[in-house]
Structure 1
């Protein structure tokens, strides 16, 4: 068993208010008790509990901090821990709505199902853009706090929106998962110097501080990783078996329609590139990104990039078709973003600048345009999807 020392909180991280520190301390006690009962827990379980433990986890305790840059003065520093595309600009949802309309026509239904709807702003803007009272919008949300925020945000559409507590038995229509896969708990692994695979567990040191330790991986996990990458001594990365199972299961309940999976990530060759030897695990705290998942449990987000090849394979194994894969920038441009923006008046320079600035972030290679990808999977749709009409990268998966 080899160990990785526990890191003290990074001095570059922002000041945390006393209430948040107190909440994090309560979450830490809960996790310490869990580890004391079991000796050590797989990192996947640590990530799950730190994010989703009832009343304590980041997503279930009212601590989720989504920054909405649209409602802030330019001089303000951004609120929250991170900002998503829908929070950045309404043009993201308006463009996505054009692609949804095509799916609705092709599938003969007006239903939409969104997973993990955040503040509810994406649902709000899609419904406003589609402007059709016959559309049924379903939301599956694990966080009671976020569900309450969504209900408030969507009160104007209350006759059209329903919240689900479990997966539907059967669904036809359009499925949206924007930044959902990256928040699913991952297995963390490391190749040992002797060529064997270790899985990382979380345990306690002599001072009851959290620390990562390597334990021999199960034969099943070792076999899965070996099929995806060579044994590179010291190489650390992640595998998201929960996300793969979730997509595989979609093949059971998505009878007709398209699921759009929008997230940051890479194809497998890039994901397990020899130079990406520290993996992709990332934590977000008040708009500061850092790499230590063992600090500030319950008040920081923990994410990993998405292996889109693995997601496409899981879809195929579940009986779904892979209908498109491209960058967020390509997807938005193909879906008619520029046509929508042409309705803006360039003479109204203040408004024009306010609207275009965030759109440039959505499209820029240096920002979200290239890092974020869109994978479309589905069943029973015969026509090509507009979002992938140019620059489809399925051949790279």
Structure 2
């Protein structure tokens, strides 16, 4: 991967590329990109955990939430589109619970670009009916107007971002270049008008010395998504900041990081193609784009609050055996791990948006 990036930089005007281009290659290159490789990425043997990998109860709670959302929408058929389905753990737990509850037929659509993950999903969902598309555009070509629920868990944080810094000489874009020995380094260039326009529209002025990620790709992608939806819900589960939080001194250096073997790597240029790259999402931007396309926010809260409100404690097993390694004990420990103050859920937020359109 590093040789591919070096070659791109050498051929780039000015000898540097944007962080967005770097991330696109490091994460999504068809041969060398992190997400495209045939390797375990989620769970104990991977680089990071997700809520759905912690316990099947996570998906079971969502199954009930989805059912009530569909009922509220009043649609004649139920279609759930999960974008960025990973290894299929969430899809399987949702479908298992859906089937166990005897809910009406559900069309479960998986959007997943990684062939490796698609194979994992196929194994996990072999007892269920589902469909797979490599890209959202592929599904949209067959479904030009969508009615249903779109769900993305830790989807937006992995979209490529530009990086800017407010300096004493004005707004600069931080790009990726090479030093004399061929190592990847940061360089500062003048920020273009597109970045300035995004900041003006979605954030306002940066503080002196502040570094921040600008999600041009996400903003454009969201507009196309909301435009495609006729009637339905859009649900994003991710970690991010509001405009006010972005101004706090402790995150003045930005949020772009890597995760490698469950270790946070502060320098995103380390291990290109070998580690996950992620940045916190701009919740205010997502909400505003939704409003602009007639898909306003109907709910926003921490995942911890969401799970408690929607009955995760009802899934606790009663009358468990004395064996601490029994399935009941494991399930109860997993539930507690999702709702305790130090749990993963404390750091995630859930944004629910609703679009009321014509049929």
Q: TM-score by structure 1 length?
A: 0.82
164 and 65 in structure 1: CA distance in 2 versus 1, 3 angstrom threshold? closer
Residue 186 of structure 2 aligns with which residue?
212
235 and 344 in structure 1: CA distance in 2 versus 1, 3 angstrom threshold? same
Distance 2:243 2:322 in 1: 45
Q: Is the 8 A contact 1:229 1:272 kept in 2?
A: no
Residue 52 of structure 1 aligns with which residue?
28
Distance 1:287 1:373 in 2: 21
Residue 163 of structure 1 aligns with which residue?
133
Distance 1:201 1:64 in 2: 30
Report SS of the residue matched to 2:34. Answer: coil
Residue 41 of structure 2 aligns with which residue?
65
Displacement of 1:310 in angstroms is 0.9
Displacement of 1:250 in angstroms is 1.8
Displacement of 1:349 in angstroms is 5.7
Residue 360 of structure 1 aligns with which residue?
336
Q: Deviations over 1:333-365 (max 9, x none)?
A: 121212232x54345562443122222232233
Once superposed, what is the RMSD of the aligned Cα atoms? Answer: 1.8
Displacement of 1:230 in angstroms is 3.3
Report SS of the residue matched to 1:232. Answer: coil
1:201 corresponds to 2:201: no
Moved over 6 A (4+): none
Q: Is the 8 A contact 2:226 2:290 kept in 1?
A: yes
Displacement of 1:232 in angstroms is 2.5
1:137 corresponds to 2:73: no
Q: Is the 8 A contact 1:237 1:277 kept in 2?
A: yes
Distance 1:268 1:64 in 2: 35
Q: Is the 8 A contact 1:98 1:336 kept in 2?
A: no
Q: Is the 8 A contact 1:43 1:186 kept in 2?
A: yes
Displacement of 1:225 in angstroms is 2.1
1:323 to 298, 317, 322: 298
1:246 corresponds to 2:216: no
Residue 114 of structure 1 aligns with which residue?
82
Q: Is the 8 A contact 2:114 2:134 kept in 1?
A: no
Distance 1:55 1:31 in 2: 13
Moved more, 365-374 or 277-286: 365-374
1:237 to 165, 190, 212: 212
Q: TM-score by structure 2 length?
A: 0.90
Q: Is the 8 A contact 1:254 1:378 kept in 2?
A: no
Distance 1:118 1:277 in 2: 31
1:174-193 alignment to 2 at 5 Å? 174-193=149-168
1:82 to 36, 42, 48: 48
Moved more, 141-150 or 295-304: 141-150
222 and 165 in structure 1: CA distance in 2 versus 1, 3 angstrom threshold? closer
Distance 1:164 1:170 in 2: 18
1:373 to 335, 340, 349: 349
Displacement of 1:57 in angstroms is 0.4
Q: Is the 8 A contact 2:110 2:130 kept in 1?
A: no
